[in-house]
Structure 1
Amino acid sequence: MQLEFLGAAREVTGSCCLVTVGGRRVLVDCGLVQGGRDEAERNAAPFPFTPASIDAVVLTHAHLDHSGRLPLLLKRGFRGPVYTHAATAELCAIMLEDAAGILAHEAEWTNRKRERKGLAPLEPLYDRDDALAVVERMRPLAFGEALDILPGVRVRLQDAGHILGSAIVELWLDDGRRRRKLVFSGDLGHVGAPILRDPTPVPRADLVILESTYGDRCHRAWDATWQELAEVLEEARTGNILIPSFAVGRTQELLYTFARHYRDWGLERWHVFLDSPLAVKATAAYRRHLEVYDSDARRAQRVAGDPFHFPTLRITETVEASIALNRIRSGAIIIAGSGMCTGGRIKQHLKHNVWRADCHVVIVGFQARGTLGRALVDGARFIRLWGETVRVAAQVHTIGGLSAHADQAGLLDWYRRFEGGPPVALLHGEADAMDTLAERLRQGPASRVLTPLPGERLDLAALPDNP
């Protein structure tokens, strides 16, 4: 009975853990590595296990750093079921197909350069058929529903409040000699965030696997965050506002909040463009899953009918419509992906606006090291876009309180709901954030705190019982 930490160990992306019990093997998440010059090489590398040997996957949520290598897993031999929330399955149908399209485009661009050098072409990591085949293997579970997925393995999902369908995973293991319960936090949501409920507390575990994205800081209070965003809108009297936004989660929170503050934030004087086909599809999925809304969002839906719509919102469906936005010099708020500025339509809008002094760039989510978004947050004076050096004259605003992740206080509070201070292993965080959270946990109720290295294995039988 063991747990292997295969991804997001001492880093933020590429979440993947392997649980082995009684000869059965279960993956919890199988995500893409995002950011860094070697991401393509790392994503294409062989798995540190035989994919055909995996009996099942439990998926916490649809973000690609948790789900994005599942099509490759299937392509290389996996044939088991994928257990996840119904809303996650719906989002994965959108996001994995979109990822396949991006991978195909990147492969085409790379192969043009390789051809000129006389090199053989490379295949995309996976294609649309691989992505859709994964979705067909998904088995939906409702929050709170316990299911025996394999002999000696029982799973239950609880609401993590991070994005639509995001789940905390409770995993009961029994090898005939001993029993252990693991709890994977997945990505925990930010308490008080719009639309979704707060993360569900879990009372008991023998081991907690906890994310640590914001383990070294606390977010601003929600009232202060909304005031900060309102002040940016008020300050930006001329020029355009660019908002790089994650298509799933952050975009819906922005639209929902803009709709609620349409009059008092003066949004009638702006044209707000949602320039992300993926975000448009994801917003439609959000509309279909009222069962995971919090009470305020359900009330807004009953009153407004569509909690994400307001009069000046415009949807740019086509590439031509997106390109046309580059002719607008003032009065536009452009919400576009990707959230870390690593791809998508936001890069075109940066090229046409970021060198203007009256442009405002509003950062509304976590920016991993090595990404273009992180360079902007860190105050880069120049950025590179398609081989061209572009001066950054725009004002860059970081609205940290809008994060969809729990901050240090939220992580500690969620952990403290466990009885008896069970051992905790920290994943999904940069080293500084992870080490800071580890120290705070050691000062509190945690009996043991681990910060595992990639590939490290933990003997679950050696864990103390936590009755």
Structure 2
Amino acid sequence: MSITLSVHGAAHTVTGSCYLLQAGKTRFLVDCGMFQGPKTLKALNYADFPFEPGEIDFVLLTHAHIDHSGLIPKLVKHGFEGPIYATHGTIDLLSCMLPDSGHIQEFEVEQLNRRNAQRGRPEVTPIYTVADAEASLRAFSPVAYDTWIDPVEGVRARFWNAGHILGSASIEVEIDTGLKSPRKLRLLFSGDIGPDVKSFHPAPDSPENLDYLICEATYGSRERAPMTVSDRRDLLAAEVNAALNKNGVLIFPTFAVERTQELLADLLALVEQKRVRDVPIFLDSPLAIRATEVFLDHADNLENGDEFRRAMRAQRVRTTETVAESMMIERIDGSHIVVAASGMCDAGRIRHHLKNRLWRENTTVIMIGYQAEGTLGRILQSGATAVRIQGEEIKVRARIRTLDVYSGHADGPALARWVADRGPVMRGTILVHGEEEGLAGLHARLADLGLDGERIFAPDLDEVFDLLAEAPEARRRPAPRRLQPEIVGRQDWHNDLSKLWLDIGEQLEGAADDRARKVVIRRLRRALEEKPD
């Protein structure tokens, strides 16, 4: 019997987690996530799966974040009929997250089709709808931590606390090899590993003595200073006070789940302690509002859950459910704070706030989460002086700050320690969910700890491992690549085009007179008329 692992997402990028395991006639997935970032990468969400959904027996889901779960409704819509195993916390979060994702698909496609009609282009169909998302929820089957389940004969799995978000898990998998040796093949999928210090969760835990470890590498190259919750609040207080100085407005692009709840808990604690001004705080994300209710339902199982419950019941946070309520925030005079999704500024209401505030010098935007390559958040973080939002050029006069103390991911040293504690890993460590810098950084750290560098892999998208081979190595699928490796995890031509539009506008505005502007335009026309190489 052969046993293979195909890496269908989160390969040299931090989104789209999806791993297909085939053991004889059994086929199952670990995660089925949505790609985020540049348009070329997001286009994979609309394309066919690189496998037949109807042939998948079951799914094991590490946690609720959309980059790990967001294509489950599409999977069900296209023929998957098996169970999806996840923790109670994950299922409760997805009960609001997946329908919200379906709403986003419908809303964004409606806007796109309106523009396509004006341009004479064909209509686009949503990846899935709210109804599709709600239908997929019926497939979920809850599991408890540290308890074996047997989805099919010859395969069993156990979920371990990953310390990342509510319900997050690393998943241990044992597979009968069909060989004479009674030993099973043992794998561990890290999911996303939380940092050592978290407001709501204990440190991550999972088993040791594995054949294969499939490990995230998001912050594999980064090392953070030791940080307590008190230290984090000190840093937040300094940033908030600086932002609100002289009638300032503060905007937090946040991920709706976990980052929002941690941030609100800290903000409200600082207000209560009179360490920051008591200004209006707007939670402008319907999903974050509903997710916060899920956190309150699970407060008894959270560390510091009582403090979070008290803070949220203080009613200092103003929630905005409707688009009209969201737009009314722009009429507020004086200092205020807006917490809105999405965390990478690529969708949701945050784009409306950035469009209306980036050009104002009294605005501060604080990034508190990972910004993937090609996203608006990364572009702002990199010091752009102008950006394009919904086709319009916006000058960036706001202060752009980064507060890297709310990450849900372990940094490089913590990841390396976590991997070392899982040892021995006898056959191979497969690094996923990381961009080039993170992958290289974690590879180097693990090699320094004594792991065999030739048994540390960073596969490209859709590469396959024969898990029973004497010398494991990644190999290409026989089908054509969905994306060339040099495209994944990097800015694409859409990003280049947006930058070009900005550069052209700057050249024309900076030209001495109309004659000089015509010279620029003639040069552009000549370049367009040249035949490509």
Q: TM-score, normalised by structure 1?
A: 0.95
Residue 255 of structure 1: aligned partner: 264
Q: Is the 8 A contact 1:160 1:187 kept in 2?
A: yes
Q: What is the alpha-carbon distance in structure 2 between the residues aligned to residue 292 and residue 316 of structure 1?
A: 28
Residue 458 of structure 1: aligned partner: 465
Alignment of 1:59-208 (within 5 A): 59-177=61-179, 179-208=184-213
Instruction: Measure how far apart 1:259 and its partner are.
Output: 2.9
Q: What is the alpha-carbon distance in structure 1 between the residues aligned to residue 274 and residue 198 of structure 2?
A: 19
Deviates more, 1:222-231 or 1:448-457: 222-231
Q: What is the alpha-carbon distance in structure 2 between the residues aligned to residue 325 and residue 356 of structure 1?
A: 15
1:242 aligns with 2:246: no
Residue 335 of structure 2: aligned partner: 331
Could you tell me which amino acid in structure 1 is paired with residue 357 of structure 2? N
Residue 357 of structure 1: aligned partner: 361
Could you tell me which amino acid in structure 2 is paired with residue 248 of structure 1? V
Q: Is the 8 A contact 1:416 1:445 kept in 2?
A: no
Shift >4 Å, 4+ stretches = none
Could you tell me which amino acid in structure 2 is paired with residue 146 of structure 1? W
Q: Is the 8 A contact 1:342 1:371 kept in 2?
A: yes
1:213 aligns with 2:224: no
Of 409, 427, 430 in structure 2, the residue corresponding to residue 425 of structure 1 is: 430
RMSD: 1.8
Of 270, 276, 283 in structure 1, the residue corresponding to residue 279 of structure 2 is: 270
Q: Is the 8 A contact 1:251 1:335 kept in 2?
A: yes
Of 339, 346, 349 in structure 2, the residue corresponding to residue 345 of structure 1 is: 349
1:318 aligns with 2:319: no
Residue 33 of structure 1: aligned partner: 35
Deviates more, 1:147-156 or 1:317-326: 317-326
SS of the residue 1:3 aligns to: strand
Instruction: Measure how far apart 1:464 and its partner are.
Output: 8.4
SS of the residue 1:206 aligns to: strand
Deviations 1:297-325 (A, max 9, x none): 14536xxx434344532112222221111
Deviations 1:83-140 (A, max 9, x none): 0011111111211111111111111122122223444322111111211121110000
Q: Is the 8 A contact 1:267 1:312 kept in 2?
A: no
Q: What is the alpha-carbon distance in structure 2 between the residues aligned to residue 311 and residue 146 of structure 1?
A: 42
Could you tell me which amino acid in structure 2 is paired with residue 253 of structure 1? E
Q: What is the alpha-carbon distance in structure 2 between the residues aligned to residue 189 and residue 291 of structure 1?
A: 20
Q: TM-score, normalised by structure 2?
A: 0.83
Alignment of 1:360-371 (within 5 A): 360-371=364-375
> Which structure would you say has the larger Rg?
2
SS of the residue 2:109 aligns to: helix
Aligned residues: 460
Q: Is the 8 A contact 2:209 2:425 kept in 1?
A: no
Structure 1's 194 and 6: CA in aligned 2 closer, same or farther, altered over 3 A?
Answer: same
Q: Is the 8 A contact 1:51 1:73 kept in 2?
A: yes
SS of the residue 1:148 aligns to: strand
SS of the residue 1:281 aligns to: helix
Could you tell me which amino acid in structure 2 is paired with residue 452 of structure 1? P
Residue 285 of structure 1: aligned partner: 294
Instruction: Measure how far apart 1:164 and its partner are.
Output: 0.8
1:233 aligns with 2:233: no
Q: What is the alpha-carbon distance in structure 1 between the residues aligned to residue 253 and residue 298 of structure 2?
A: 25
Deviations 1:200-226 (A, max 9, x none): 142231111000000000123324443
Could you tell me which amino acid in structure 2 is paired with residue 11 of structure 1? T
SS of the residue 2:282 aligns to: strand
